[in-house]
Amino acid sequence: MSFSSLTSACSSLGVKSSSLIVQLGFQTTENNKFPGAFVSSPKRTKIKKFSIACSSTDPLLVKAARGDPVSRPPAWMMRQAGRYMAVYRKLAEKHPSFRERSETTDLIVEISLQPWEAFRPDGVIIFSDILTPLPAFGVPFDIEEVRGPVIQSPIRSEDDLKALHPIDLEMLHFVGESLKILRQEVGGHAAVLGFVGAPWTIATYIVEGGTTRTYTTIKSMCHTAPNLLRTLLSHLTKAISEYIIYQVESGAHCIQIFDSWGGQLPPDMWEQWSKPYITEIVSVVRNKCPKTPLVLYINGNGGLLERMKGTGVDVIGLDWTVDMADARKRLGSDISVQGNVDPAYLFSPLSAVTKEIQRVVKCAGPCGHILNLGHGVLVGTPEEAVAHFFDVSKSLNYDGSSQNHSMEESKLLV
């Protein structure tokens, strides 16, 4: 692991798992056609750089990401802002273009804060997209109602590479401005989260020309044009590294790296075509922002857990196909984990949601766990279930005496 493996208070205590006291009594209470390049508000705000130091005032999520002792597992949800919320759907009717919503400072802030105002999660993630920075380094794209993201000029030859240029962060001013405002709005009550796509995942869109189910073009390129693909991935690595640092300097407490389609690669190919570039990003960011936790999430990562740990990130995000107890055994106690409730559980009776949260938290142990879904919130998810998820998370309390217990001795007390 990175720095947290050296400084983790939990590791120094020999913590491997937990006993929990669960205090019950909680309440149970898009794609659209984008015509041409979107031009957001011309207003420019000078971005204040935040010094994010390790201190007792750090949000709960940051402490858990570092592996520091916490009283309960912090919780947030991937895609916690979005179409399942009535307030979001109402806003989207007024602003039907996804790119307008995700590239206009006022709208980004409003949407990002919708779940914060409704549920008070421990993490507030900026409303954006992994493709947002593409135009800033020479890859324009549109979003069509049926096809989703569309790149009219995919990169498949040496000549195509000429369109690329160093990332122009001024073109992403709305991201920096939004993070600054979110940091001010949330204060120290929650962690502000930024995110990026990993080089391989971003490259799949750039090479394929949009979304794909087979990844045949880019997978073939691994063998037919390996130097071309390496050049593209290297360019993306530098741009993404700078983009992460920009987000941190704009106010993000923590950054999640989405290698969403890394799980589409066989493990040996992921080792060659994704891991080295993520590792380089971690190294560059760690040098500039040593106190900022980095989370790595891959959809379908059951066969990659140990390899993911080797990138040096602080937190491994788990999807719901991985058993939390098994993941803990495979990864060890010197790295934090995030996840991994099945998003479909939120369509079940609330009592079932409660039991699954308790099971996941118990298996994860009392140190270094961020409660989350194994993937994003599904469209149509009842808001009541999301509220219940966060209510349950806040009802949990780690038993201090459990911090010297082994996994075999852990108990969940209700």
- The pLDDT assigned to 263 comes to 96
Dihedral angle, C-alpha 272, 277, 283, 286, nearest 10 °: -130
Alpha-carbon distance 323 to 31, whole Å? 33
CB 11 within 8 A of CB 391: no
Partners of 324 in the β-ladder: none
Average pLDDT rounded to a whole number, residues 64-70? 97
Q: What are phi and psi of 4, to 5 degrees?
A: -65, -20
pLDDT (tens digit per residue) in 87-112 = 999 999 999 999 999 999 999 999 99
Quick one: what percent of the chain has pLDDT higher than 70?
83
- 19 vs 299, more confident: 299
pLDDT at 269 over 90: yes
pLDDT at 380 over 50: yes
CB 98 within 8 A of CB 395: no
Three-class SS state of 176: helix
pLDDT at 204 over 80: yes
pLDDT (tens digit per residue) in 237-258 = 999 999 999 999 999 999 999 9
Three-state SS sequence of 363-376: HHCCECEEEEECCC
In b/e form, how buried is each residue of 344-380, taking b as 16+ CB within 10 angstroms? ebbeeebeebbebbbebbbbbbbbbbbbbbbbbbbee
Three-class SS state of 361: helix
Considering only CA atoms, which of 151, 243, 254, 252 is closest in space to residue 198?
243
Directed axis angle between helix 383-395 and helix 350-364, to 10°?
Answer: 40
pLDDT (tens digit per residue) in 159-198 = 999 999 999 999 999 999 999 999 999 999 999 999 999 9
- The pLDDT assigned to 145 comes to 77
pLDDT (tens digit per residue) in 25-56 = 333 333 333 333 444 443 444 444 444 444 44
Q: Among 11-15, 157-161, 338-342, whose mean pLDDT is lowest? A: 11-15
pLDDT at 306 over 60: yes
pLDDT at 363 over 90: yes
Alpha-carbon distance 7 to 356, whole Å? 31
Considering only CA atoms, which of 116, 72, 119, 122 is closest in space to residue 369?
72
Structure-block tokens of residue 195: 């995110």
Alpha-carbon distance 130 to 198, whole Å? 9
- The pLDDT assigned to 57 comes to 86
- What DSSP state is assigned to residue 343? G
Whole-angstrom Cα Rg for the chain: 21
The residues near 79 (Cβ < 8 Å, ≥ 6 apart) are 376, 377
Alpha-carbon distance 99 to 153, whole Å? 19
Q: Tokens 């491994």 correspond to what residue? A: 316
pLDDT band at 210 (very low <50, low <70, confident <90, very high): very high
Could you please report the per-residue DSSP string of 259-304? -TTGGGS-HHHHHHHTHHHHHHHHHHHHHH-TT--EEEE-TT-TTT
- The pLDDT assigned to 400 comes to 56
* pLDDT mean across residues, the chain: 87
Omega of the bond leading into 340 within 30 degrees of 0 (cis):
yes
Q: Among 42-46, 253-257, 338-342, 377-381, whose mean pLDDT is lowest? A: 42-46
The pTM (predicted TM-score) of the whole model is 0.86
The residues near 83 (Cβ < 8 Å, ≥ 6 apart) are 30, 89, 92, 379
pLDDT band at 385 (very low <50, low <70, confident <90, very high): very high
The residues near 154 (Cβ < 8 Å, ≥ 6 apart) are 160, 206, 207, 208, 209
Domains contained in the chain, CATH given: 60-397 (3.20.20.210)
pLDDT (tens digit per residue) in 217-242 = 999 999 999 999 999 999 999 999 99
